[in-house]
Amino acid sequence: MKLFVDPPLPGKTNMEIDLELVEKAAETGSAYVRLYSWSRPTISLGYFQKPEKVLDFSALEKHGIDWVRRPTGGRAVFHFKEITYSVSLPEDYPGLPSSVTEAYRFISEPIYRAFLQIGLPVKWARQEENVSEACFLAPARHEIILQGKKVVGSAQRRKARSVLQHGSILLGAQPEVFADCLLGVDKEVFLEQLRTRTMVIPVREEELRKSLIYQFRRFFS
């Protein structure tokens, strides 16, 4: 397993590196883990979302927000203050389940353990329906929740010989800005849903990063 801790980078660069690593996992048969952040606030869209139907481009310009398309599915995520992770594995990695939902849990296990290590009593979520354009508004099965609220938003893509999963661990939020940049949402309802269904992790960034590095190395080595 190789682990990278990158400095803040533009959204396009972040997505390009994740794609490079999942291709490398297929070529080498090795696991690649990456922790990173974003040089500017950025909204990432799922691979199948249409930006002209999701994003208010004038609001993006007003707030100085970038946008990028992820190579994975899912819905919109606002990357502001967070630790982002990505895991790239060959399809025959030992223990990796063939089921998408079970693979979510397998890949997320080091994050779950990192939260427990620093004293956060997290649990695994059950499936909830999400009809919003925002990824964080409903936890999928085997995603991580704290006090009933989603704290990690993840997406996965399976290629011919490898699997990429990446996601966001929230350390800060600008929900009003996020709501303003999305089309077709009732902003008051959207903000209330964000407040009641998601939360920012109440820990120091460096403490969480150290715990994640330790658990990822332990789990994938």
pLDDT tens readout for residues 112-140: 999 999 999 999 987 554 445 454 454 55
Residue 135: its pLDDT value, please? 47
Q: Whole-angstrom Cα distance, residue 219 to residue 221?
A: 6
Residue 137: its pLDDT value, please? 52
Instruction: Report the C-alpha dihedral over residues 53, 56, 60, 63, rounded to 10 degrees.
Output: -150
For the chain, list residues with pLDDT below 70.
127-141
- CATH class entry, domain 2-220: alpha beta
181 is catalytic: no
Domain boundaries, the chain: 2-220
Residue 143: its pLDDT value, please? 84
**Length reported for the chain:** 221
Among candidates 8, 87, 71, 74, which has minimal Cα distance to 42? 8
Residue 194: its pLDDT value, please? 87
Residue 141: its pLDDT value, please? 64
Residue 131: its pLDDT value, please? 46
User: Of 22, 68, 122, 135, which is the active-site residue?
Assistant: 135
Residue 140: its pLDDT value, please? 57
> pLDDT, tens digit, for every residue of 89-100?
999 999 999 998
Residues 6+ apart with CB under 8 A from 17: 6, 9, 34, 36
Q: Tokens representing 177?
A: 């800005």
Residue 12: its pLDDT value, please? 97
Using CA atoms, how far residue 5 sits from 34, 35, 36, 103, in Å, is 6, 5, 6, 23
Give 15-83 as a DSSP string: HHHHHHHHHHHHHH---EEEEE-BSS-EEEE-TT--HHHHB-HHHHHHHT-EEEE-SS-S-BEEESEEE
